[in-house]
Structure 1
Amino acid sequence: MVATLLHEIPLQGGDVTDGVVRVGDTVRRPASSSTPAVHALLRHLEAAGFAGAPRVVGMDGLGREILTYVPGSTGLRLESVSEEALAGLAVLVREYHDATAGFPLTLEGWEGGSNDDKSPEIIGHCDLTPENVVFREGQPVALIDFDLARPTTRLFDIVTTLRHWAPIADPVDRPPLLRNLDVGARLRLFCDAYGVHPRDRRRLLDLARTRFHRSYGAMRTRAATGGNWAKMWAGGAGQRIRRAAAWLDVHEDELYAHLV
């Protein structure tokens, strides 16, 4: 056990889960209440032939989940914010959604969070921040960290993704590489590459607004339990959500024109 610990390399980037380490070609992560559901999903994706997610290895002697390590880079880089990268992400998300077909859409066992009012269609990742997308040679190749996955609609998971990658956010809160991009054009590019139905394009901004309202409440509730959720809330997460919603209200017409 000592030899194993000496070779543990801490992995940084996520906001919620501490204690994630790399050991050789595997990743060890603290287990949570959603771990059994996540492992069942990852095994389903493997059986479906979806290559863009880690594989389940098992559990270690410390009660941590063991997943395969996906080589590549995460986070925002010049190549990861290109139009080609955004289109590639849309295709990867579509392939992931399609691969969840046939997986049970029951709500039990998942972490939970804000959601669409429509009946679930797929298991959404629901947390595709730049830290949770693995890139190689400027193209997204895998999705990681499925802790917040849950049954939802395709459009809701698309909205959660575009929140970070368009991004649907007040410029003051955007990372420098995303600050001056044409958000409307990026919304359309993603929808075109994914193949979002015109009916859903007309609903996208309304659902984004609904998500802002509900995610604010969900995050505030989680923050009350302490831990990293409380740190995120204390760091201004709630205010960023409010500013994003206000920015969307001001720019809705021009964004809508790109979508339809």
Structure 2
Amino acid sequence: MVATVLHEIPLQGGDVTDGVVRVGDTVRRPASTSTPSVHALLRHLEAVGFEGAPRVVGMDEYGREVLTYVPGATGLRAEIVSDEALAGLAVLVREFHDATAGFPLTLDGWEGGSNDDKAPEVIGHCDLTMDNVVFRAGLPCALIDFDLARPTTRLFDIVTTLRHWAPISDPVDRPAVLRSLDVGERLRLFCDAYGVLPRDRRRLLELARLRFHRSYTAMRTRASAGGNWAKMWASGAGERIRRAAAWLDVHEDELHAHLV
């Protein structure tokens, strides 16, 4: 057990997990059914030398998981939507996917939810919002909050990431700093930096549409159980997904032109 002896500082950001605090150089998070699998993954990443994730310290006397604190900044800021930041994120995601090679794809305890129909290839983070990427000096250096990580395809995790970072969404739902971005160019930039294969580029928008459909259904189901998922749904999350899907339908041809 890891004893709590320092002052707890609540950490903001994210939509689902309450009770995340910083204690000295560690982060304490409520444990969940996925915690054993996530800890196994994080220990694997440490063993293979992947530097872009927190390390597992253990559990504290309150049954919370204890991870190392990754210094830097998270959240939406103007400097993190640069081309350099997006390319850096693509490289970091590629390095993360490559680092999961050899990790078992059949462990129990992963969170369910929307996914690709193809056989899993890697462990995907599956929740790379601006709150879950740590930046230093305007460039991404680490991924955090692996609660929704699970076996999936590379392309599914890429699509999930681009949903937020391109972003694939109706401009009415984008923060001001993202509203005027050239989404097609950012799709191409990310794919180039990651090294997405031509066959996957051709399928990217199709999978994005499938993800919208399944995300809507999964979120509605989770919201029915109450808690923070219900709060997100009540705040209009379902409507935002529907608008993003409709926006994709209208702009699919011009976006696809950047991917061929």
Question: Which TM-score band (shorter chain)?
Answer: over 0.9
Q: Which 4+ runs in 1 deviate beyond 4 A?
A: 3-6
CA distance, structure 1, for counterparts of residue 222 and residue 5 of structure 2: 31
| Structure 1 residue 141 corresponds to structure 2 residue 144 | no
Q: Which residue of 1 aligns with 2:169?
A: 169
Local SS of the residue matching 2:29:
strand
1:179-218 to 2 correspondence within 5 Å?
179-218=179-218
Aligned CA distance change for structure 1 residues 107 and 211 (closer, same or farther; 3 Å): farther
Q: Which residue of 2 aligns with 1:81?
A: 81
* Greater shift in the superposed pair: 73-82 or 135-144: 73-82
Q: Is the 8 A contact 1:107 1:150 kept in 2?
A: no
Q: CA RMSD in A?
A: 1.0
Deviation by residue 1:220-254 (Cα, 9 ceiling, x = unmatched): 00001100000000000000000000000000000
1:24-39 to 2 correspondence within 5 Å?
24-39=24-39
Deviation by residue 1:65-93 (Cα, 9 ceiling, x = unmatched): 00000000001111100000000000000
Alignment length (residue pairs): 258
Letter in 2 for 1:134: V
| TM-fit CA distance, 1:22 | 0.1
CA distance, structure 2, for counterparts of residue 211 and residue 72 of structure 1: 30
Q: Which residue of 1 aligns with 2:17?
A: 17
Give the % identical residues. Answer: 86
CA distance, structure 2, for counterparts of residue 148 and residue 117 of structure 1: 17
| TM-fit CA distance, 1:108 | 2.4
CA distance, structure 2, for counterparts of residue 5 and residue 76 of structure 1: 32
Can you give the 5+ residue segments of structure 2 that lack an aligned partner in the other structure?
A: none
Q: Which residue of 1 aligns with 2:45?
A: 45
* TM-score in terms of structure 2 length: 0.98
Q: Is the 8 A contact 1:134 1:142 kept in 2?
A: yes
Q: Is the 8 A contact 1:122 1:153 kept in 2?
A: yes
Letter in 2 for 1:147: D
Deviation by residue 1:149-180 (Cα, 9 ceiling, x = unmatched): 00000000000000000000000001111111
CA distance, structure 1, for counterparts of residue 177 and residue 211 of structure 2: 24
Aligned CA distance change for structure 1 residues 177 and 110 (closer, same or farther; 3 Å): same
